[in-house]
Structures are given as C-alpha cells and as structure tokens.
Amino acid sequence: MAKVPYKTYLAEDEVPKAWYNVRADMKKKPAPLVDTATKDPLPAEVLERVFCRECVRQELDDTTQYIPIPGPVAEFYRMYRPSPLVRAYFLEKAIGGPAEIYYKFEGNNTSGSHKLNSAIAQAYYAKEQGLTDVTTETGAGQWGTALSMASAFFGLKCHVFMVKCSYEQKPFRREVMRTYGAEVTPSPSMETEIGRKINAEHPGTTGSLGCAISEAVEAAMKLPNARYLLGSVLNQVCLHQSVIGLETKAALEKLGVKPDVIIGCAGGGSNLSGLSAPFIGEMLRGEAKYRVVAVEPVNCPSLTKGEYRYDFCDTGKVCPMAKMYTLGCDFIPAADHAGGLRYHGMSSTLSELYDQKLIEAVALPQTKVFEAATLFARVEGILPAPESSHAICAAIDEARRCKAEDRKETIVFGLTGTGYFDLTAYAKFNDGQMTDA
C-alpha cells in the first residue's frame, strides 16, 4: 500500500452535507431534559423560552439519522473546513512504534478550537428566528470566542459571561471576543441576581462553568429578543460536532485505514461525541467494533468518579435537569488548567453510551498531560490546548501499551485546539510549579 500522506484533506465535494445524529441508531435513547420541579420531560414550547426554536427541535430529535447542514453554515465551514487528518509520523517515531497514530486537528481557525462548528450553526438558527442578541458562558474562553465570531458573521450581539479565573488568566482571549464585537463579563458578576447570590455565598470565588451558565440564562430571559446558546453538553451540540467524525471517517476510508482506538478529551462531551459518532453508529448497527476512550482530568472526573443520575446543569439551578454522569452541580473543581474540561457533568448522549459500555473513560493528572503536550509540541510542531493534551496523553499511553505488547494498532485522536492562550499554564509547567492537587 502507498505510504499514507502526512496530512489528508477531503476535497470540497467530499465534505459532509448533513450532520449525523447518533441517537437515531441508539436502541436505548439518552434520557430527556426534565422540569426541575415536576421531573416531567420538557416540551419544546418550554425549552424555546431559553433556547432557539430550531436548536430545540434538534435537541429533541432522536429519530432522524441525518440532518442537513444549512447552506449558510456550510458556506462558513468552507472558510476553515475540511480540517486535516494528520498521520503523526513524528510522534510514532518518538514512541518507537509499532502503533499508527492519526489526529484530527480542529485548531485551524481564529477561535482555535472545534467550538466554531456548533457556534456557527447556533448563531445561524438564532438569526433565522429573528433574534438580535445571544447570551452564553465561557470557561476557558474558546466557546466565547467561537460564538463571538459566529455572532459577528450573522450580525448578532453576543453577551459572554466568562468564568472569572479564566478572565484573569487569559486577558487576550477577552480581547479577541471584544474585537468580534462581544460584551464580556467576568462571572460570577454583580449584574445578575444569581451572580450576586453566588458572590455573597462564596466571597472571592473564581467561578465555575455552572455559575456562568446560570448568569447567561438569566441574562437571556431578561433581554427583549435574546436566547441562550450553549457550547457543549447538549444533544444539538454533539450533533453539530459530528462533522468532525464524518470527515475523519471519510478520510480514513480514502486511505483504506480502519482505526482500533478512538480517543478524545471530554469536558461536556461534544468533541468526543462528534469525533466518535459515526464509528459508534457502526457499532450500534453491529457493523464494526472499536474502542472509544473519553479522557478527563483527575480534578474533574465526571465519568470515572461521577454518578449516573438526574442533576442540575448549572449551579443556580435555572436550567432543566439532565440525566448524566455528574459530580453534583455544586462541585467546583480545583483550578485545573484545562478550563474547558471543568464541567461537573457530561453530555447525556455520551453518558448513556458510557453506561451501555460503548465507550471507556480514563482520568489523567495535569502534570502528566503537560509532559505529553510538551513532547507533542516538540515532535509534531503544534502547541496543543491543555484540554486536547488529555487526548494526546492517552494516545501516547495507548501507543506505549502497543509497544510493550508488540501489537500494531491504529489510534485516532481528536486534537481539539491550540494552546496560544494557555501560556500561563505552560509557564507554570515550565517553571516546575504545576501540581496535581
């Protein structure tokens, strides 16, 4: 067989024209969002008070296998998609074989991560509905940046509540958002009722995604023509991110390669869900078998240490309840540097797949993750985001296992983003001051 190229891109006419909805192939479906008081599944009319209409339709649709990507979204995708599937020859060499390693790189856009795949879709549906404003939260800042870009493209005003510790650690992220016209507020703020309450109860708190979500939802309800958009966890976000997996699968098929292990970091579960969806679909239909591995930080181990039950999605308990692997909505993780992996719960789709043993999970300490990030940066040339580095680290562990067992396996992982805004974390690591506590 011809040697696989270092980078494989799909041609424009090979890029996916529809998203793949893995729930359609699940016999046992993920549990629905329910009302916090009655515990009844929430009908579309109620969800539409908070979320955009079309997003709610997608959220509740667990029967349609393929959902067409709207024209304007597909056009926007052309600016930065298809993303490359890279054969990690240099990393393989550093490990010393025999595993073959590939990664799907989603960092080639200004927001620096896969989040733009869903941001542009959600902003489009908000615009279609005639809204003028959108609100959201951002942890590490990638989602806020992605939604700021998407909002600017469709002429929407974007209000971002940014978790305070990230706001302080990453001032340049804030400037990117402001350059795209967004208004950025550190959370918990004094601008919402819930923010004032959290500040009063936890003086000096550096915030959490759960707090920022509550603030953004409250802000959306108070603005005249706004809805709240979320960058992970929800079914619709996992759906939009399936573009990653569909491209990966098409590229691997072009190369005649079948993966053994598929690895992704898991915060709210959207990138891993998206990367793995078409492969899990094959498993659900009994057509193929893969190992799918979710990688989380030991400081926020929702899958490996959480319980599978209904929980609140946010600290302020203003959102519906979701059935998911959760550490509890009051859980405030230690100040881990992988801001995008600090959510207390996990997407209900991924949670259900984990419960059905279709995916595995591991939790890794951040110093080990940064060692992997450093090796990767040096041999493959890309400075990875701390979140993505969890997947790199697990991929290296798998490749070393292959070496120890002298087994040739094919490993594919999601490289979700770049680490240019995470240099405070790299500085800590380089100064030997990073801990795993």
Ligand X SMILES: *Cc1c(COP(=O)(O)O)cnc(C)c1O
Query: By C-beta, is 148 or 232 nearer to ligand X?
Result: 232
Residue 36: closest CA among 388, 321, 385, 424: 321
> Looking at 269, 301, 306, 320, which residue binds ligand X (CB under 6 A)?
269
CB of 242 to ligand X, least distance (A): 12
CB atoms within 10 A of CB 71: 9
Query: Which residue's CB is nearer to ligand X, number 361 or number 402?
Result: 361
Site mask, ligand X, residues 184-213, x = CB under 6 A?
Answer: ------------------------------
In the bound state with ligand X, the residue whose beta carbon lies nearer, of 170 and 323, is: 170
Cβ-based nearer residue to ligand X, 133 or 137: 137
Q: Is 374 exposed, middle or buried (0-12, 13-18, 19+ CB in 10 A)?
A: middle
CA distance 272 to 275: 5
The answer to whether residue 385 forms part of the interface with ligand X (CB under 6 A) is: yes
- Complex with ligand X: residue 274 or 316, whichever CB lies closer: 274
Instruction: Please state, in angstroms and rounded to a whole number, the distance separating the CA atoms of residues 416 and 280.
Output: 19
267 in contact with ligand X (CB under 6 A) = yes
Q: For 112, left (φ over 0), alpha (ψ -120 to 50), or beta?
A: left
Residue span 330-359 as binding mask against ligand X, x where in contact by CB under 6 A, dash where not: ----------xx------------------
- Using CB under 6 A as the binding rule, whether residue 113 contacts ligand X is answered as yes
* CB closer to ligand X out of 143 and 180: 143
Q: What is the sign, positive or negative, of the torsion defined by CA atoms of 352, 364, 270, 274?
A: negative
**C-alpha closest to that of 380 among 9, 87, 82:** 87
Q: CB of residue 235 vs ligand X: minimum separation in angstroms?
A: 12
Q: Which residues contact 200 (CB under 8 A, 6 or more apart)?
A: none
φ/ψ of 287, rounded to 5, equals -95, -20
By CB under 6 A, what part of segment 132-151 binds ligand X? 140, 142-143
Minimum CB separation from ligand X for residue 245, in Å? 12
Task: Tell me: does residue 268 bind ligand X (CB under 6 A).
Answer: yes
Cα gap 348→408, rounded to integer Å: 33
Distance (Å, whole) CA 20 – CA 68? 9
Name which of 80 and 89 has its Cβ closer to ligand X. Answer: 80
Q: With 0-12 CB in 10 A as exposed, 13-18 as middle and 19+ as buried, what is 406?
A: exposed
**Residue 271 in the binding site for ligand X (CB under 6 A):** yes
**Of 101 and 383, CB closest to ligand X:** 383
Which is nearer to ligand X, 281 or 384 (by Cβ)? 384
Strand-pair partners of 229: none
Q: What is the DSSP letter of 301?
A: -
Binding residue (CB under 6 A) for ligand X from 312, 416, 421, 425: 416
Cα 84 from chain centroid?
Answer: 18
Report in angstroms how near the CB of residue 409 gets to ligand X at its nearest.
Answer: 24
Verify binding: residue 387, ligand X, rule CB under 6 A.
yes
Rounded Cα gap, residues 370 and 391, in angstroms: 11
Extended strands (E) in 235-382: 261-265, 291-297, 307-312, 321-326, 360-364
Exactly one of 135, 151, 270, 276 binds ligand X (CB under 6 A); that residue is 270
Smallest separation, CB 266 to ligand X (Å): 5
316 touches ligand X by CB under 6 A: no
Q: How near is the Cβ of 268 to ligand X at its closest, in Å?
A: 4
Q: Pick from 122, 388, 397, 413: which binds ligand X (CB under 6 A)?
A: 388
| 302 belongs to the binding site for ligand X (CB under 6 A) | no
Q: Is 104 in the site for ligand X (CB under 6 A)?
A: no
Q: How far is the CB of 239 from ligand X (least distance, A)?
A: 12
Q: By rule CB under 6 A, what count of residues binds ligand X?
A: 20
Q: What is d(CA 336, CA 342) in angstroms, rounded to the nearest whole number?
A: 8
Structure tokens at 434: 């990073």
299 is a site residue for ligand X (CB under 6 A): no
Instruction: Answer yes or no whether residue 265 interacts with ligand X by CB under 6 A.
Output: yes
Helix (H) / strand (E) element for 411: namely strand 410-415
**Cβ 270 to ligand X, closest distance in Å?**
3
Provide the sign of the torsion angle of the four alpha carbons 160, 165, 168, 173, taken in this order. negative
| Shorter beta-carbon distance to ligand X: residue 135 or 388 | 388
Closer to ligand X by Cβ: residue 133 or 296 = 296
Q: Which amino acid is at 15?
A: V
232 contacts ligand X (rule: CB under 6 A)? yes
| Residues in touch with ligand X (CB under 6 A) | 113, 115, 140, 142-143, 232, 265-271, 340-341, 385, 387-388, 416-417
